[in-house]
Amino acid sequence: MVLKYIEEYRDGTLARAIIKKIQAVSKKKLRLMEVCGTHTMSIFRHGIRSVLPEGITLLSGPGCPVCVTAQKDIDAFVEFSRIDNVIVTTFGDLIKVLGSSSSLGKEKAAGADVRIVYSVFDAINIARENKEKEVVFCGVGFETTIPTIAAGILMGIGDIPLIGDIPLIGDIPLIGDIPLSGMSLKKEYEKFDAAIKFGMDMPDMPEPKGCACGEILMGLKTPEQCGLYKKKCTPMTPVGPCMVSSEGSCAAFYRYS
Ligand code: SF4
């Protein structure tokens, strides 16, 4: 396969002209937040921070679905994996995130049926193939993932017959544990909410001690301002979700900063 437009996007003359223009028009201090981890990685990889005027500060925000998942939801996912007859389906990154006592990865290693999927539709197929089991999909994320999750629910009640039951975690946090930022299923779809179906109500848990992920997501701190960064917390020994996910702010800073 031949990739097109590589040269066009790497035109040095054009890039230098754009940088000059930005330098010329930037008169006041600006703080800009990118909310997508892929953007954060690209900004680092292409050295964009180093060519911006001094007055422009780039902040790395939520990053990816894993980074915005509250501890209590991780704890709920772990609890689901411990229920007999339940298959937990999850995005791959989430499996490494540590809750207050365990992670889906640890539970899987201990024998739980935890499966990595790439979308809610994979979970639907698993449910179809396992009619005698309950399949829980960990519906984490924000606006980018919500439409496909909603589509999965509609498939479950629409014309396409569903053989297995597909409960779905109701709480889809938007930005960490900021009050009133979460999303949940509307009343008419509650039968798809695994937390309601299984009576799962995990208590709110604080972030890991010393972890500043919540403040980083809100743009109040940068990873370097966390006392654990590059000391206790590295990609090999992640403390918080911003370091677990390869697209998390802390992981991006660790790799490129
Ligand atoms: Fe949390 Fe680690 Fe990032 Fe600190 S460096 S905010 S402990 S993920």
pLDDT along the chain (257 residues), means of 10: 72 91 91 88 89 90 81 92 95 86 94 94 90 91 79 66 45 43 76 88 84 89 94 91 86 89
Task: Please work out whether the CB of residue 240 comes within 6 Å of at least one atom of ligand 1.
Answer: yes
Q: Which two tokens stand for residue 68?
A: 């915005």
Identify the pLDDT of residue 172: 40
Instruction: Name the residue of 232, 250, 255, 257 to mutate for ligand 1: max ligand atoms within 8 A of Cβ.
Output: 250
Rounded to the nearest angstrom, the distance between the alpha carbon of 248 and the centre of ligand 1 is: 10
Say which DSSP state 247 is in.
T
Task: Please work out whether the CB of residue 217 comes within 6 Å of at least one atom of ligand 1.
Answer: no
Are 213 and 199 contacting, i.e. CB atoms less than 8 angstroms apart? no
Are 155 and 127 contacting, i.e. CB atoms less than 8 angstroms apart? no
Identify the pLDDT of residue 165: 47
Task: Please work out whether the CB of residue 87 comes within 6 Å of at least one atom of ligand 1.
Answer: no
Are 170 and 185 contacting, i.e. CB atoms less than 8 angstroms apart? yes
Identify the pLDDT of residue 181: 62
What phi-psi label fits residue 210: left (phi over 0), alpha (psi between -120 and 50 degrees) or beta? left
Q: Which CATH class is domain 67-197?
A: alpha beta
Task: Please work out whether the CB of residue 228 comes within 6 Å of at least one atom of ligand 1.
Answer: yes
Identify the pLDDT of residue 159: 41
Domain boundaries, the chain: 1-63+212-257, 67-197
Q: Is the pTM of this model over 0.95?
A: no
